[in-house]
Chain A
Amino acid sequence: MSDDIQVTKVFDLKGLACPMPVVKVSKGIKEVEVGQVIEAQTTDPGSLSDFPAWAKTSGNEIVKTEQEDKLIKFYIKRLV
């Protein structure tokens, strides 16, 4: 977990293939309040471009992206 970001909920999407990470995160973001941040963990390399595309379209914000080997962590703030 990133030290400066307050994460409300963590979603383990590791091992899932397209389109599941984006489908799950679009549902998951609705489980927190507007202004809160979720952490989504994926191992799908496609999510590196898909998550920003989803965030931009849905009107949410990716606050931070971290990468450790194959693991990708997105910190996404619910804005809408």
Chain B
Amino acid sequence: MDMQNVETQLEELKSSLEALNKKTAENKLAMIIFSGDMDKVLASFVIASGAVAMGMDVVMFFTFWGTPVLRDKKKNVGGKDIMGKMFGTMLPKGTGDVKLSRMNMGGMGTAMMKSLMKKKNVASLEEMIALAEELGVRIYVCEMSMDLMGFTREEFIDYKGLGFAGVATFLQEAQNSKIQLFV
């Protein structure tokens, strides 16, 4: 085999290796938080922070019922239409308003669970979000859900690494993630 041939083969090998590297999943976790239930969102943040501890890059997408969980109770925005005002009032305004998916019992169950969590030293949803921010967990809020429910960017929590995006952004992240979860 002559040198020319070897070089050509080396080039082919290099380009196929590059193509392969592009296909290899990164050590990343991509999650969709569709649910707005307190327990499910809490579990999501437990997994997210655990994943960072395991050395993973984590990205969370909040969509549909998950969207209002990230609203900031202290922020008020005006200029909404009737539907927007209605959704704004009826949907939870932040972590303080979210309920358990089961055994809520008119709010009693959720209150009991919160006090039990405190007693058992389980971090609250607020604490878990603060931890996620500290750990560098990236969060995207679904623009389509926001538009549907009449939410503006201004009414979401202050969170380093908070972005607003659509399905393509999620898929791009999910495509090269080792783990993808839908909650």
Residues of A within 8 A of B (CB): 15-20, 22-23, 25-26, 53-54, 57-58
Contacts and interface: CB of A to CB of B under 8 A. Distances in A.
Contact of B54 (A15, A18, A57): A57
B55 A23 contact: no
A17 B54 contact: no
A57 B56 CA distance: 10
Question: What's the interface size class on B, roughly?
Answer: 10 to 19
Nearest to B122: A17
Interface stretch (B2-10, B44-52, B102-110): B44-52
Nearest to A58: B55
B120 interface: yes
Contacts of A17: 120-123
Contacts of A15: 121
B53 A22 contact: yes
Given A57-B54, A57-B55, A58-B54, A23 B49 contact: yes
B47 to A, nearest CB: 8
A46 B108 CA distance: 29
Contacts of B123: 17, 20
Contacts of B55: 26, 57-58
B50 A19 contact: yes
B121 A16 contact: yes
B131 A23 contact: yes
B135 interface: yes
Contacts of A58: 53-55
Interface string B10-50: 00000000000000000000000000000000000011011
Nearest to B54: A57
Contacts of B122: 17-18
A19 B47 CA distance: 8
Contacts of A25: 53
A71 B143 CA distance: 47
A23 B58 CA distance: 14
A17 B116 CA distance: 12
Contacts of B135: 23
Contacts of B131: 23
Nearest to B48: A19
A20 B135 CA distance: 12
6 contacts: A15-B121, A20-B123, A22-B53, A23-B49, A23-B131, A26-B53
A23 B121 contact: no
